[in-house]
Amino acid sequence: MTLFLAMASFAMVLSISPGPVNMVTLVSGVNNGVIRTLPFVTGACVGFTALLYITGVGVGALLQNYPYVMDVLHFGGTAFIFYIGVRIALAKGILEKSQARLPKFHEGFLLQWLNPKAWIACLSGVGAFASGENEANLMIFCVLYFLICSVGVGFWAVLGAGAQHFLDDAKRLQIFNRTMGVILCGVAAYLFFDM
């Protein structure tokens, strides 16, 4: 039971804490509402869980033997996060939700796989909770992480949708989008120089 609680705590902290996926989810929640943001949330959760699983079945150990692959992921991933930040920052303050930029399932999935911090979280999570030949622990960790990730990332969509009434003015919405875009670009810069 202690291992289960530790896994759940690890998953909740990493799923709900601010990061690139949660910032995009927040912006989409503001611009598109919760229901229209769910495909992105699902893609992000499936993407992270798939990454966690392949890390647990040996890709993590393989990557440790080829550190240049992690460098490629690091630089490519931070560039992708920066690109998304720029796109958000340049978004217009659109009040008609049907015209707002809607992030897709595959973008949520891809964002996790290109996020250097997601790789680090997977490597450390597998090392702590599912290392070795224990396939059962890995499966429990993956299922638990998917469920908690859905709640944690989904929280940001709900938070964004709740802010819609404040951001119902095109100018305020544009300021919000620019601020969130700049923050996401800052996250990319931090990730780029932190590794």
Domain with 75, as residue range(s), is 39-92+101-194
Cα-based distances in Å from 117 to 29, 41, 110, 158, 171? 23, 17, 13, 24, 33
CA distance 150 to 83: 24
User: Is 0.85 surpassed by the pTM of this model?
Assistant: no
The residue length of the chain stands at 195
- Give the whole-number percent of the chain exceeding pLDDT 90: 32
Structure tokens at 9: 């705590």
- Taking alpha carbons only, the member of 27, 158, 21, 35 closest to residue 81 is 21
* pLDDT tens figures, 93-130: 654 444 457 889 999 999 999 888 788 888 888 888 87
Residue 118 lies in a domain: yes
Residue with token string 């008609």: 96
CA distance 33 to 14: 23
Residue 27 lies in a domain: no
Hey, what amino acid is at 137?
A: N
Residue 11 lies in a domain: no
| 22 burial type by CB count under 10 A (0-12 exposed, 13-18 middle, 19+ buried) | buried
CA distance 128 to 145: 14
**Angle made by CA atoms 19, 23, 26, in degrees to the nearest 5:** 140
Q: How many CB atoms are located within 10 Å of the residue 35 CB?
A: 9
Residue 143 lies in a domain: yes
Residue 53 lies in a domain: yes
Residue 7 lies in a domain: no
Residue 26 lies in a domain: no
Residue 43's pLDDT is what? Answer: 97
Question: For the chain, what is the domain count?
Answer: 1
Structure tokens at 157: 């969509």
Indicate the range of 14-18, 41-45, 161-165, 190-194 predicted with least confidence. Answer: 190-194
Indicate the range of 54-58, 69-73, 91-95 predicted with least confidence. Answer: 91-95
CA distance 67 to 82: 23
Residue 34 lies in a domain: no
Is pLDDT of 2 > 90?
no
Cα-based distances in Å from 41 to 80, 179, 192? 18, 21, 24
